[in-house]
A and B are shown apart, each in its own frame.
Chain A
Amino acid sequence: MNQFQYVRPAETSGAIKSIALDTNAHFLAGGTNLIDLMKMGIIAPERLVDINNLPLKTIENIPGHLRIGTLVTNTQVAENQFIKENFPLLSMAINAGASPQLRNMATTGGNLLQRTRCPYFFDTTMPCNKRVPGSGCGALEGYNRMHAIFGASDKCIAVNPSDMNVALTALNALVHVSGPKAARTIPFADFHRLPGDHPELDTTLQKGELITSVDIPTVPFTKNVYYLKVRDRSSYAFALVSAAVALNIENNTIQDVRLAMGGVAHKPWRLIATETFLKGKTVSEETFKQAAQIAMEGAKAYEHNKFKLKLAPNALLQALKTASGLKA
């Protein structure tokens, strides 16, 4: 690992000022992704601004929202009693990811900024437009079993690796950021980007901006929720596909629904058209099967990930059945 300057400011303003001093500076929180990338030589910051002393570590109930500070760890979120009772989808998604050790270290803001696990991104001998813009995409014609089936471009077919992000997009979260300019709030759907011509940009964060908290509107999806993650081993592996389902069911009718998938796109993949289809419908296996087909509109597979065209709708169908109680 290259040498770097290390600073540990105590105030958010100091952290933002410090990052602005250097074009090659990074914020450091849990480090579970950043330190790995530095060891692999994928990034080599000149300065790390350790934000672990900033006062951004609380979970608060504010009117209409639950506010999670950027430094709250994944374990603290998943194990929080209020979150387990009121946002069980979030707890389930977080617990489906990584290991207990990593969840103890990883933070809320850091999880939002996880880089892809595409092997071509990690292999510095291979071309990768995300790592070295303009160098090409190794996965496009290479081994692309783990890769995207939605929203990819000819520059990049990598997927976002986070489970937490899939739940947060379904829950309409808001991302609060501070930076050299005015603080702003980014709707979750606009926070991560599709690769397009600039796969080096994972998010719409501007240079020097720091995530300060994530808000979740207190719309209760408490009972009929499920996060299904399909992977190569039963724990501690990235998703081949995952499905987040939150339903509000009254008298066997779907009053409200939120759906998102993971492991299928460069960003957590919200299924708005499928939600619209399901709203007002009666709970039935046939309806859910139709919904799963609608969810797949526009899907495109590559040489080694054609199985995802079957696995994804099946996963969504299973998650819908489990969440609704059709299947125990």
Chain B
Amino acid sequence: MPPDSDGVPNKTRRDFLKKSSFLTAAAFVPVTVVNAAVNQWDEKLASVFEKTSLHLEVNGLALNLSVEPRTTLLDLLREQLNLTGTKKGCDRGQCGACTVHADGMRINSCLSLAVTNEGKKITTIEGLSKGQELHPMQEAFIKHDGFQCGYCTPGQIMSAVALIKEGHAGSEMEIREYMSGNICRCGAYPNIVNAIQEVKTGGLS
């Protein structure tokens, strides 16, 4: 629902939709009323009208979208845009598998409502390579065997690319500290650090 200029919403539209659909049903037969309640049609009808428009640039592509306010950026990417490279691990901001860049900054897309990213440029793992040419960080992860099962890898790589830009890849200690938001349960950490150090020192660029 678009906010009014002073931020006060059309406060009862949802309630109105729910009540009006319910009342319309009530004007017919009792069975309809029961069905409406059982199937939560009032909820479903209201939700159709409750989608919010959203303008995003995802991996260089400008998109005009319509989303429910409760949709996270992660679910938007995976479920609506079919960009399944970004992974859902804990879905609570604890594992880093969902790391993407919003206006160049790494964030946990699972804790970001899609609507709060209005006007932003989102980059996912799918947006790193240039056609068939992999990003140097992707090359380095392959060369240094920076993964085993691979589930955390898109998040690790998005985090690693941001880390170098942030200027916190000065030492192994610093890399480990500033990569601590990305958990790897296979324990590929030493190789991940090696991959980042190689890109940092200009290898594979």
Taking Cβ atoms with an 8 Å cutoff, the residues of A that contact B are 1-11, 13-15, 17-18, 21-22, 28, 31-32, 35-36, 38-40, 47-50, 52, 75, 98-102, 104-105, 235-236
B144 contacts A by Cβ under 8 Å: no
Binary per-residue interface labels of chain B (38-50) against chain A in the complex, 1 for a CB within 8 Å, 0 otherwise: 0000010011001
B38 to chain A, nearest CB (A): 18
A259 to chain B, nearest CB (A): 25
Rounded to whole angstroms, the CA-CA distance of A6 and B69 in the bound complex is 6
B33 contacts A by Cβ under 8 Å: no
Q: A28-B116, A31-B113, A101-B106 are in contact. Are A235 and B180 (CB under 8 A)?
A: yes
Q: A1-B70, A235-B176, A236-B180 are in contact. Are A101 and B108 (CB under 8 A)?
A: yes
Which A residues touch B5, using CB under 8 A? Answer: 10, 14
B89 contacts A by Cβ under 8 Å: no
B85 contacts A by Cβ under 8 Å: no
Rounded to whole angstroms, the CA-CA distance of A32 and B112 in the bound complex is 7
Question: Interface with A: B24-32, B58-66, B158-166, which one?
Answer: B158-166
Which B residues touch A31, using CB under 8 A? Answer: 111-113, 116
B3 contacts A by Cβ under 8 Å: yes
Asked if B9 and A4 make an inter-chain contact with CB atoms under 8 angstroms apart, the answer reads no
B68 to chain A, nearest CB (A): 7
Which B residues touch A102, using CB under 8 A? Answer: 93, 108, 111, 181
Q: Which residue of A lies closest to B10 (CB)?
A: A5
Q: Of residues B107, B116, B180, which shows the largest number of chain A Cβ atoms within 10 Å of its Cβ?
A: B116
Can you add 6 more A-B contacts, CB < 8 Å, to A18-B9, A101-B106, A236-B180? A11-B7, A14-B5, A14-B6, A14-B8, A47-B9, A100-B162
Rounded to whole angstroms, the CA-CA distance of A96 and B154 in the bound complex is 25
Which A residues touch B6, using CB under 8 A? Answer: 9, 11, 13-14, 17-18
Rounded to whole angstroms, the CA-CA distance of A39 and B92 in the bound complex is 8
Which B residues touch A75, using CB under 8 A? Answer: 105
**A interface, over-half SS:** mixed
Asked if B116 and A52 make an inter-chain contact with CB atoms under 8 angstroms apart, the answer reads yes
Q: Of residues B8, B91, B118, B178, which shows the largest number of chain A Cβ atoms within 10 Å of its Cβ?
A: B8
Asked if B159 and A101 make an inter-chain contact with CB atoms under 8 angstroms apart, the answer reads yes
Rounded to whole angstroms, the CA-CA distance of A38 and B108 in the bound complex is 16
Rounded to whole angstroms, the CA-CA distance of A236 and B106 in the bound complex is 16
B21 contacts A by Cβ under 8 Å: no
Q: Of residues B43, B52, B163, B181, which shows the largest number of chain A Cβ atoms within 10 Å of its Cβ?
A: B181
B1 contacts A by Cβ under 8 Å: yes
Which A residues touch B86, using CB under 8 A? Answer: none
B73 to chain A, nearest CB (A): 10
Which residue of A18, A28, A39 is within 8 Å of B8 (Cβ)?
A18
Asked if B92 and A36 make an inter-chain contact with CB atoms under 8 angstroms apart, the answer reads yes
Which residue of B9, B93, B168, B177 is within 8 Å of A5 (Cβ)?
B9
Q: A11-B6, A39-B91, A100-B181 are in contact. Are A5 and B112 (CB under 8 A)?
A: no
Which A residues touch B7, using CB under 8 A? Answer: 7-11, 14-15, 17-18, 49
